[in-house]
Amino acid sequence: MPPSRSRGFAKPQNAKKIISRLISYMGKFKLLWLLVLFCVLISSGASVAGGYLIKPAINNYILPMLSTISQGGTAADIAPTMAAFARLILGVLVLFLVGVLASYCNQRLMLFISTTLLFNIRNDLFSSMEKLPVKFYDSHTHGELMSRFTNDTDALREMMSQTIPQLFSSTITVVSIMVMMIVLSPMLTIVVLVSMFFIFQLIKVIGKKSAAAFRANQKSVGELNGFIEEMIEGQKVIKVFNHEEIAKNEFSVLNENLRKAGTDAMTYGGVMGPVTNNTSHAQYALVAIVASTFMIIGQQKAGFLNWFTGVLDIGTIAAFLQYTRSFSQPIGMMSQQANSILNALAGAERIFAIIDEQPEVDEGVYSLVNAYDAKDKDGKTKLVQSYACTGEWAWKNQADSSLRHLEGDVVFDHVTFGYVPEKTVLHDICIHAKPGMKIALVGSTGSGKTTTINLLSRFYDVEEGSGTITYDGIPLNDISKSALRKSLGMVQQNTHLFTGTIKDNIRYGNLEASDAQVYEAAKLANADYFIRHLEKGYDTVITGDGASLSQGQRQLLAIARAAVADPPVLVLDEATSSIDTRTEKLIEEGMDSLMKGRTTFVIAHRLSTVRNADEIIVLEHGKIIERGTHDQLIAAKGRYYFLYTGNKIAIDE
In contact, 603 and 618? CB cutoff 8 Å: no
Which long-range contacts (C-beta less than 8 Å, at least 24 apart) are formed by 395-399?
395/366, 395/367, 395/368, 395/472, 395/474, 395/479, 395/483, 396/366, 396/367, 396/368, 396/369, 397/365, 397/366, 398/365, 398/366, 398/367, 399/365
In contact, 153 and 121? CB cutoff 8 Å: yes
496-513: average pLDDT: 86
Lowest mean pLDDT among 269-278, 361-370, 377-386: 269-278
- Write out pLDDT tens, residues 390-414: 778 889 998 888 888 888 899 999 9
- Write out pLDDT tens, residues 603-620: 877 676 788 889 999 999
The pTM score is 0.66
The model's confidence at residue 651, banded by pLDDT at 50, 70 and 90, is very low
What pLDDT does residue 445 have?
Answer: 79
Q: Is the pLDDT higher at 441 or at 11?
A: 441
pLDDT value at 648 more than 60: no
The model's confidence at residue 417, banded by pLDDT at 50, 70 and 90, is very high
- Name the strand (E) or helix (H) holding 324: helix 314-355
pLDDT value at 121 more than 90: no
C-alpha span between 170 and 147 (Å, rounded)? 32
Q: 434-459 burial, b if ≥16 CB within 10 A, otherwise e? A: ebbbbbbbbbeeebbbbbbbbbbbbb
> Amino acid identity of 634?
I
What pLDDT does residue 44 have?
Answer: 79
Measured between alpha carbons, how far is residue 642 from residues 236, 368, 444, 621, 652 in Å? 32, 42, 11, 16, 10
- Write out pLDDT tens, residues 150-169: 888 888 888 887 777 777 77
The model's confidence at residue 581, banded by pLDDT at 50, 70 and 90, is low
Average pLDDT, the chain: 80
DSSP state letter for 298 = T
> Amino acid identity of 13?
Q
